[in-house]
Amino acid sequence: MSGFNFDVITLFPKAFELIKNSGVITRALEKNLVDVNLYDLREYGEGPYRQVDDKPYGGGAGMVLKPEPIFKAHASIKKSLKSKTLLMTPQGKVLKQKDLVRWLTLDQIIIICGQYEGFDERIRCLADEEISIGDYVLSGGEIPAISIINGLTRLLPGTLGDPASLVDESHNSNLLEYPHYTRPLIFKKMKVPDILLSGNHEEIKLWRNKKMIERTMERRKDLIGKQNSVYHEENSQNKEVINNSINTLEVIEFIDYPDW
């Protein structure tokens, strides 16, 4: 076993080719920071045709994944002490950045991908958590699984070139990130804000804080009431920006990354 292990039970292992060509994640695989092991559900299928699905009891559209192959595949995976099994389902808890951070303390995540109409209800008892990647329905759990692998891997130490880029990014503190600019200075008559050229790091930091709050207020007001560590009593500038927009605000900490 290398650093962090993802063990994925899927009927479409080929879907995971994507992670072999996706920059930061591919590099993490090459550096053995993560390992992605695929368990082809077909190999655990029943009978000469390796059957993995069947018609639903009670009738209705579509096919349902049978429990036996998934149980067999799950049993065949060697589990570490810090392992969790996640079941991909649109009925699960909607994935948040803080879930990815929470799972960093594990060293193994087993992911079960559904297909077709879904899976036999009894499969749910294998899962420690049921996860949805949003309130929409995809045809299989592979894209949700890749989202989790991607989102978690980029948080692992050694994966990103500059780990500082994790600190301010969107959803870390329930705020969206501030706007970024790079060269050229003027593009199609749009100029980079002067403050970013000032070299005054303190002022730039304050400007960015302000932009994070403004941007969240404009686009995702729902996030503000929940948690906002940029709002400190002593930080009068933030307080002013927020209070101009809303009346009440709960104060909670930034997401804490584990000590590695």
Residue ranges binding ligand SAH (CB under 6 A):
88-91, 113-115, 117-119, 132-134, 136-141, 144
CA distance 64 to 121: 10
Least Å from the CB of residue 169 to ligand SAH: 22
In the bound complex, which residue of the shown chain has the CB atom lying closest to ligand SAH?
A: 114
β partners of residue 46: 51
Between CA 56 and CA 116 the distance in angstroms is 11
CA 141 to chain centre: 14
* Minimum CB–partner distance for residue 26 and ligand SAH (Å): 23
For the chain, helix, strand, coil in percent to 5 are 35, 20, 45
Cα–Cα distance measured from residue 223 to residue 171, given in angstroms and rounded to the nearest whole number: 9
Measured from the CB atom, is 88 or 213 closer to ligand SAH? 88
Q: Which is nearer to ligand SAH, 135 or 202 (CB)?
A: 135
Shortest distance, position 87 Cβ to ligand SAH, whole Å: 7
- CA dist., res. 23 & res. 8, Å (int): 20
CB of 226 to ligand SAH, least distance (A): 21
Which residues are 187's β-sheet partners? Answer: 190
Whether the link from the prior residue into 184 is cis, omega within 30° of 0, is yes
Least Å distance, CB 20 to ligand SAH, is: 22
Nearer to ligand SAH by C-beta: 15 or 113? 113
Residue number, 40 or 117, with CB nearest to ligand SAH: 117
Cβ proximity to ligand SAH, 109 vs 242, nearer residue: 109
Tell me whether residue 124 or residue 215 sits nearer to ligand SAH (CB atom).
124
What φ, ψ does residue 6 adopt, rounded to 5°? -105, 125
Smallest separation, CB 128 to ligand SAH (Å): 15
CB 7 within 8 A of CB 15: no
Q: Per the structure block, which two tokens stand in for 214?
A: 């403004």
